[in-house]
Structure 1
């Protein structure tokens, strides 16, 4: 089961990161921002918007597959790790800096995910011992 979670959440993060970064690339391609038909045409004339839509669709189906087996609390927390993966990808793709606040946020996100996972594993172990 651990292998299922590891692979599943890795795939989820990959699709979500691709979707979000592609969404930003689509926005950059459509510059300047204007609430006009021309702007909408610019958005949909580039391929990044379609990569983003596909990424969100694959993210959704991966998430639904994971929720069939994963406990909701830790799964929901782990799905927010994409904030970290998007930040890392943004350094490479968009030359965005990793600031002190981003680093602190990353530490807090990862810590929260770890605490929820530990709490879930202790609860699972406690329930398996009580079933005898």
Structure 2
């Protein structure tokens, strides 16, 4: 069950990041004047999709708390790096972001790091 909690954390985190990027890109850039920034951010928070991404972050936190009852943090936390991999993959298809050699090499290192850190030395 612990792995399902980690998976829930990852999936809700990825959902929140992707939806937030998608919706914020529809609103444009952050204005310069402070009051305009504040009004802009308030408008963002009340967008239903952005609100769902904030709610998703909260739900991811609940899953993470449950995962912490099952695993040591030093074991579970590296799995959170899968969120980088998923966001990268989805951003290619959803946002048409470029694939570069540096990004690919970085992702390979992340996956290798997850594999290495998930091995327990007994």
Answer whether TM exceeds 0.5 for this pair. Answer: yes
Residue 91 of structure 1 aligns with which residue?
Answer: 92
Q: Deviations over 1:20-43 (max 9, x none)?
A: 112212321221321514423441
Write out the 4+ residue segments of structure 1 that deviate beyond 4 Å after TM superposition.
Answer: none
The alignment partner of 1:97 has SS state of: coil
C-alpha contact (below 8 Å) 2:5/2:67 kept by paired residues: yes
**Cα displacement (A) at 1:45:** 4.3
What runs of 5+ residues in structure 1 fail to find an aligned partner?
124-132
What runs of 5+ residues in structure 2 fail to find an aligned partner?
none
Number of equivalenced pairs: 118
1:10 aligns to 2:11 (yes or no): no
Distance 1:109 1:12 in 2: 18
CA change 1:47–1:29 in 2 (3 A) is farther
RMSD: 1.7
**Cα displacement (A) at 1:12:** 1.7
The alignment partner of 1:33 has SS state of: coil
TM-score (norm. length: structure 2): 0.85
TM-score (norm. length: structure 1): 0.79
Larger relative contact order (CA 8 Å, sep ≥ 6):
2
